[in-house]
Amino acid sequence: MTVSVESVALDARTLEQRLTREGRPLSFADVLEGWRTDPAVRRATVAAIAEAPYEALFWETAPWVRGRLDAPYRQVVVNAPPLARVAPDPEAFSAHFGAEDVVAFDNLGGDARLVVPCPRAGDRTYTHLAAAVRGAPAAQIDGLLARVGTELEGRLEDRDVVWVSTSGLGVYWVHVRLDDRPKYYSHAPYRAA
């Protein structure tokens, strides 16, 4: 079945997006399962990000609350012009890169799990998420979201809330954060939830 994206401009720099199937909004549980097992959900998520009218962006999901995964899933893409002007920094995560297309590891503080694509195209492709979804191998980006789903499922087993996002202002290599708090969220309603 086809998965579609509905986008609404919240302001000049923020689009809120929902995924639907046959006109029915997907829940957080649907999206979690879809990221893990359904290429159509992963393709729709990637398309939502890739088609955003921003050269560079932050991707932030509403908080994943273990007891409320039946709620309609929402995400925002937020225009991030500073990311469009930076050079990639593959050295930041190079110790973790290997034969896999995507790796996952805890951040230095231990309060976030990072899901990171390994270099498979030119380094500029991995500077931020918009560049990656538009330029990295499609199979790698599909694998990135599948790994996010697997890591998120594991994280929700022992946490009540997880925030999933990308920022990239600290390390110039795309990495999806599965965080214990909304450390780098720019969209205030999700940060305050």
Q: What average pLDDT does range 101-118 have in this prediction?
A: 96
Tens digit of pLDDT for each residue in 142-184?
A: 999 999 999 999 999 999 999 999 999 999 999 999 999 999 9
Q: Would you state the pLDDT for residue 25? A: 98
31 pLDDT more than 90: yes
> Looking up tokens 């393709």, which residue turns up?
43
133 pLDDT more than 90: yes
Average model confidence (pLDDT) across the chain: 97
Q: Calculate the alpha carbon distances from 183 to 40, 46, 111, 126, 163 in Å.
A: 30, 23, 10, 21, 9
pLDDT category at 123 given cuts 50, 70, 90 is confident
Q: Which residue has the higher pLDDT, 193 or 104?
A: 104
1 pLDDT more than 80: no
Q: Would you state the pLDDT for residue 50? A: 98
Q: What average pLDDT does range 120-130 have in this prediction?
A: 93
* Number of residues in the chain: 193
Q: Would you state the pLDDT for residue 152? A: 99
Q: Would you state the pLDDT for residue 75? A: 99
Q: Would you state the pLDDT for residue 92? A: 93
Cβ atoms 171, 92 nearer than 8 A: yes
Distance CA 38, CA 189 (A): 29
Alpha-carbon Rg for the chain in angstroms: 15
Q: Would you state the pLDDT for residue 141? A: 98
Distance CA 184, CA 163 (A): 10
Q: What average pLDDT does range 93-121 have in this prediction?
A: 95
Cβ atoms 125, 87 nearer than 8 A: no
Q: Would you state the pLDDT for residue 122? A: 86
Distance CA 166, CA 59 (A): 5
Distance CA 114, CA 129 (A): 13
Token duo for residue 60: 């932030």
Q: What average pLDDT does range 33-43 have in this prediction?
A: 98
Q: Would you state the pLDDT for residue 193? A: 81
